[in-house]
Structure 1
Amino acid sequence: MSAIAGLIHLNGSHLDRDTLYRMQTLLCPYGQDAQHSWHQGSAGLARTLLRITPEDSLDRQPLWHQGQQLAMVFDGRLDNREELIAQLDIAPSRAVQMADSEIAFHACARWDSEAPRHLLGDYTLACWQPRRQRLWLARDPLGMRPLFWYWRDDLFAFASMPKALFAVPGLTKTLCEESLHDYLCLMPMSGPQSLYRDIFRVEPGQVVELDKGRLDKRYHFRFDPDREIRLGSDDEYVEALKEQLERATHRRLRSRGPIASHLSSGLDSSTVTAVAAGILEQQDAPLLAYTAAPRKGFNGPVPRQRHADETVGAKALADRFDNIEHVILHRDETATPLDDLHEVIEQLDRAPLNACNMVWEKAIRENAAQRGVKVLLNGNLGNMSISHDGMPYLPWLLAHGKWLTLAKLYRQFKERNPNLHWRRMIRPCLMPLMPNAIWRARERSRRRIATLSEYSSINPTWSHRMNSEARARRMGFDLSHQPDWQGRKQRITSLYRIDTGEYNAITNLHGMEDRDPTADRELMAFCLAIPESQYLGDGRTKWLIRRTMQGILPSEILDTPTRGLQAPDWHENAEKLLPQMRLELEKLKAHESAGRYLDLEGMEQAISEWPAEGWDDPRVEARFRLWLLRGMSVGGFIRYAEEGNE
């Protein structure tokens, strides 16, 4: 993995080398093994390298071809090296001496800005053509690596992280109020605007091109909502998914050091762990599997349909593979979600929306770093691909008059859940088909839709001025809108709004790389094209992955009726956490703008009403874990941005 940056003076003046070097220096923590830059005339490129794959030892970026007048920096991993080598007519004897970046360079030289269509993997890249005065940037379709840009009349700059762009003279960390509002209201990102007013992101699957002072943006890849795969039998879908899963996982095992995985009691991480362990077992190679657990002896209450101890299912899986070393990390009893909050904000250049999870994620990364791990697998996008629940199939059947199939599904659900009443099936069948106004009125009357003030600590005055609910509906993020019965289109739309690039980048600070087999482009396209009937059947949601992993995953994972709750004991150690919150609140009060954006009075009241019990009540969890803690996180980010401008 690399972190990349570049600076182009559009007025023809010579490159400001000091600024380029400052940009490179700010990215050094994300690429600790090597740092290099290239400059010519009015342009310069920089790269900091973290060696993850064996081929990374051959990396010689930035790359420059005098004859073609092409310079390039590349951050990422190519999963179709052999295919590209053949397409580009590169001799095998030469290819073994080439890093992924050099193969990508040849692709860009051959196909220009069409090259990203041919690249498979997690990547960002930038190509500068000085003779044509043309720069173009690209990012992989799932947005696994981050890339940002800044443009003014006399200058264009880009970097893997916003912090490097703030090295540009005159550019400040001025917040974009609209983006901050949407972030605080939990609206997924839409469009190129970042949380900073003058900084924009290359969106997943996008090419951004600057040609003679004109900026153009287009997508090099989008998932096809009309594509559907029809196979001959249910078993054929299972075999096809197994093949796709093994291929996607195998692509992510290329490493110059040990490989580890996240392992919870959920279907996604356990599937990734099991498939990876099976492949590595054939290579006589080990796999570290990490499970985050509450403090030893924790027996506190958790909300209904959740379980606190994920080690039971995780251990049952680990015991099935001789090459898995299972590492259970219990929460440090003295740790709180606020301990490293400001450090994480500075690393991300944004506020983490789930500070509780950052605690155990950091613990896993630190332990893995001590063991020399280079690759850390996860299944973060599994619910969009392999473990889609299939619920949109119910209203689809109703809308298309498939009454017998619907009745059959109900009987199957009834067999597995004898207490299930037919009225329980009405809501998932009818709700997505109702006019939105009727649906919203019904759900609000039954308190099934949370109001904005219940999940966001936004200042009500600012929310009113921003017209939050109307803005959410206009942007397509209305949380009170009923679920879509068109499952494929719904998932594709959601995918375009997910951007985890910065979160993946901070893993590089620990000398390793996050990789998600469930976010493989070909696996994702396959899963999106499968009929909904394969995901909901035999009285079970997520039917396809359950069949696929039958006999591989233990019953403690496949058949558990509850879902794991991460960091269930986050609220403990209140004698340390509450003073931290009060201190943070006083700092926020000292910043005039923080009070403009956040409901500081409400946050103060919540701290004073900290409960001694009732943590199994979803309303208590929502108020303190979501509303209050997320408010603290966003407040810390506001302070970070403002103090950076002082």
Structure 2
Amino acid sequence: MGFCGGWNLPFGSVEKAVRALMRSTRRSTGRHAEAAAVFACDDAVFAGDDRLFVVFDGRLDNREELERRLGVPGASASDGAILLAAYHRWGGNCFAHIVGDYACAVWDDASRAFFLTTDPGALRTLFFWSDRGRLLFATEQRGLFACPDVPRELDPEQMAAWLAMLPREPLRTFFRGIRRVPPGHLVRWSAGKFTLECWWRPENVPTLRLKRDEDYEEALRDVLAEAVRCRIRPGERIGTHLSGGLDSSSVTAVAARALAEEGRGATAFTAAPRHPQPSRRNRFTDEWPHAAAVAALYSNVEHVRVDNDAMPMLDALDLREAGNDWPLLNASHNAWDTAIHRDARRRGLDVMLQASMGNMTISYDGTELLARRLRSGDVVGTLRTVRDLRRGGGRSWLGIAGQAADSVLPVALRRRLRAAFGKGEAGLFDYSAIHPEFLKRSGVAEQAIALGCNLRNVARADSRALRLAVLDRSDHRGHSAMATRRLFGIDVRDPTGDRRLVELCLSIPDEQFAKEGVPRSLIRRAMRGLLPDVVLDERRKGLQAADWRVTFDAALPGLRQEVARLRNSPFASECLDLNRMEALLAAWPGVEATGEQANYDYLCAFSRALTAGRFIRRVEGGNG
């Protein structure tokens, strides 16, 4: 399930690495005839000629385009042959021409160098270790750790950044000496040294100017359709994550239409509360009715309900962590997500489509439009936006005034004013149980407190910068996707993270996403007739796992034991505020508790600290 390789290593080290990665019996190995370059792969593409060795884990989503541009012979050409031809034509720049979810390594004998890359979608991972002229790379960190020379030493600064939800440093992992290949980047390694090059530059995508609003709608539909279609290959059994929101509903609907043309169907999974939950302001707490309305439009969609508490929280953590080489993001949400994948495996599915990047692409809400116009001094545009927010967006005058103030005031002043009016905003320690002293020593305290876990504080009035920052901070999805492949044999694919779709959505003016003050206006218009009105006209947000308190309450005895075990770990005791975690458990308000503070305390701060602590103990060997 991936590949590994390196330079100047005993071949036995690479053999051990590939065994750590293996899920299949389709293993291939190769050694360069005149050099110390070695490769091994498990169920991945492996090809070479007298100059190049290429190993590739993933999909070529623009294969027909590449065949045409490279002049290779259509269906008779293997993916490996296409990759070799692409590299011969474009060299290290070839990856900018390849679309798909992939990790790739190339040995180029002419330049005596390795080239390592992953695509911008971040659903494939690639790591490397280099020391004293040696190189070892692998698609999962466990492949590196199979080599006894590779250390397993945790990096305190990365743990601090993770707990503070800071933007990721491109090469950094949780282990000293272990580096990752960042999405959309190329690592060139030669003679014991490496350089990093960013080949994907979405910040430079030109703004798209079309004549009519309908042209933007058509462009979005067309590119979304292609992003979905290339992810549902012949012979594969397809599942989808279907919530009650616009993103997963759009992906499911487009997939259903494409599959129907081939006489095939899909299985859509919706996580829903088994225990009825009261409605909350601007939220609906049961997504099943909205999701069911989507599924009812397409006769080839089988709709499956999965209870949010279908798996005990700690059981789900134990299962998911066995396949994950990175801390999990959220303990409570992991329960229903793991339950869905477990059911999908039982049904024999091969692929799960999701839409986790949709909020930053197809259904971006256009919120930064008012800020941009205010900060640029566009008085007429600002007044027009205020009018639209009032009429089409249904916003109150007070709400619009608050949004305008947030747009122009310095962050510190904005926070003081909000606190003075009793509207204090959540800050770092609302979201995080990082130990304050550990944060101070980490050197990131000032940055973390200023950010306050809100990327709008560093990307103000710039929708493109904001969305790219969110995409960059969401690269943990690759670790989750790799774990899903390992544990369940299911390939997770996200059309809303398709490079072509991301670039299109970044190029579309903000005005289209917030037309006439309606948030997420573009996707609502583009999907009219393909989705039910109950989804398209819903202004509230669906609240996933609204009954998470039930799962948390059932796990309470085990959670107390977990925190007690963390005290046996010097590093967990250093970086986590264990006193606060114990106090939160002692003050647990029960399943009937309401209020946003419980979400901050337990769903965010405690949950993230718990998964970080379990990860630390796992690395230390203390979770046996």
Which TM-score tier does this pair reach, normalised by the shorter chain?
Answer: over 0.9
What do residues 219-263 of structure 1 show as CA deviations (whole Å, max 9, x unaligned)? 111113461111111111111211111121111122432111111
Count of aligned pairs = 619
The residue aligned with 1:177 is 156
The residue aligned with 1:276 is 255
The residue aligned with 2:590 is 612
1:190 and 1:497 in contact (8 A); partners too: no
The residue aligned with 1:458 is 434
Q: What's the offset of the Cα at 1:33? A: 5.3
CA distance in 2, matches of 1:444, 1:342: 41
- Give the SS at the match of 1:339: helix
Q: What's the offset of the Cα at 1:443? A: 3.7
Is structure 2 residue 298 aligned with structure 1 residue 306? no
> Can you give the 5+ residue segments of structure 2 that lack an aligned partner in the other structure?
none
Moved more, 397-406 or 239-248: 397-406
Is structure 2 residue 26 aligned with structure 1 residue 44? no
Q: Which of 122, 127, 140 lines up with 1:143 in the alignment?
A: 122
Q: Which of 317, 321, 327 lines up with 2:298 in the alignment?
A: 321
The residue aligned with 1:625 is 603
Q: What's the offset of the Cα at 1:107? A: 1.4
What do residues 507-549 of structure 1 show as CA deviations (whole Å, max 9, x unaligned)? 2121221111111111111110111110112331011111111
CA distance in 2, matches of 1:600, 1:540: 44
Superposed, 1:158-557 pairs within 5 Å as 158-225=137-204, 227-295=206-274, 298-301=275-278, 303-332=280-309, 335-416=311-392, 420-445=395-420, 446-472=422-448, 481=457, 484-499=460-475, 500-509=477-486, 510-557=488-535
Q: Which of 10, 17, 20 lines up with 1:16 in the alignment?
A: 10
CA distance in 2, matches of 1:86, 1:376: 30
CA distance in 1, matches of 2:622, 2:53: 32
Is structure 2 residue 56 aligned with structure 1 residue 74? yes
The residue aligned with 1:52 is none
- Give the SS at the match of 1:78: coil
- Give the SS at the match of 2:7: strand
Distance 1:479 1:397, change over 3 A: closer
Q: What's the offset of the Cα at 1:410? A: 3.6
Q: Aligned AA for 1:307? A: F
Moved more, 476-485 or 617-626: 476-485
Superposed, 1:50-61 pairs within 5 Å as 61=45
Q: Aligned AA for 2:440? A: H
1:342 and 1:636 in contact (8 A); partners too: no
Q: Aligned AA for 2:26? A: A
What do residues 150-202 of structure 1 show as CA deviations (whole Å, max 9, x unaligned)? 11113111111111101122222211111000111122322201111111110
Q: What's the offset of the Cα at 1:580? A: 0.7
Q: Aligned AA for 2:11? A: R
The residue aligned with 1:12 is none
CA distance in 2, matches of 1:156, 1:482: 36
Q: Aligned AA for 1:8? A: W
TM-score by length of 1: 0.90
CA distance in 1, matches of 2:105, 2:326: 23
CA distance in 2, matches of 1:553, 1:395: 31
Q: What's the offset of the Cα at 1:400? A: 4.1
Q: Aligned AA for 2:166? A: M
2:313 and 2:552 in contact (8 A); partners too: no
- Give the SS at the match of 1:634: helix
Moved more, 344-353 or 19-28: 344-353
1:23 and 1:167 in contact (8 A); partners too: yes
CA distance in 2, matches of 1:371, 1:578: 32
Distance 1:281 1:33, change over 3 A: farther
> Can you give the 5+ residue segments of structure 1 that lack an aligned partner in the other structure?
10-14, 50-58
- Give the SS at the match of 1:340: helix
Superposed, 1:114-153 pairs within 5 Å as 114-130=93-109, 132-153=111-132
Distance 1:399 1:7, change over 3 A: closer
Distance 1:613 1:402, change over 3 A: same
1:439 and 1:482 in contact (8 A); partners too: no
Is structure 2 residue 154 aligned with structure 1 residue 154? no
The residue aligned with 1:565 is 543
Q: Aligned AA for 1:256? A: G
- Give the SS at the match of 1:458: coil
Distance 1:480 1:556, change over 3 A: closer
1:440 and 1:482 in contact (8 A); partners too: no
Q: What's the offset of the Cα at 1:357? A: 1.9
2:6 and 2:14 in contact (8 A); partners too: yes
CA distance in 2, matches of 1:289, 1:190: 36
CA distance in 1, matches of 2:171, 2:623: 23
Q: What's the offset of the Cα at 1:18? A: 2.1
The residue aligned with 1:53 is none
Q: What's the offset of the Cα at 1:442? A: 2.4
Distance 1:476 1:84, change over 3 A: farther
Distance 1:191 1:351, change over 3 A: same
Percent identity for Structure 1 against Structure 2: 32
1:225 and 1:489 in contact (8 A); partners too: no
Q: Aligned AA for 1:305? A: N
Is structure 2 residue 574 aligned with structure 1 residue 596? yes
Q: CA RMSD in A?
A: 2.4
CA distance in 1, matches of 2:282, 2:553: 29
- Give the SS at the match of 1:62: strand
CA distance in 1, matches of 2:381, 2:148: 65
Q: What's the offset of the Cα at 1:354? A: 1.1
CA distance in 2, matches of 1:226, 1:134: 30
Q: What's the offset of the Cα at 1:481? A: 2.6
CA distance in 1, matches of 2:297, 2:558: 43
Moved more, 313-322 or 466-475: 466-475
What do residues 108-137 of structure 1 show as CA deviations (whole Å, max 9, x unaligned)? 233221211211111110011356431110
1:174 and 1:642 in contact (8 A); partners too: no
Distance 1:448 1:346, change over 3 A: farther
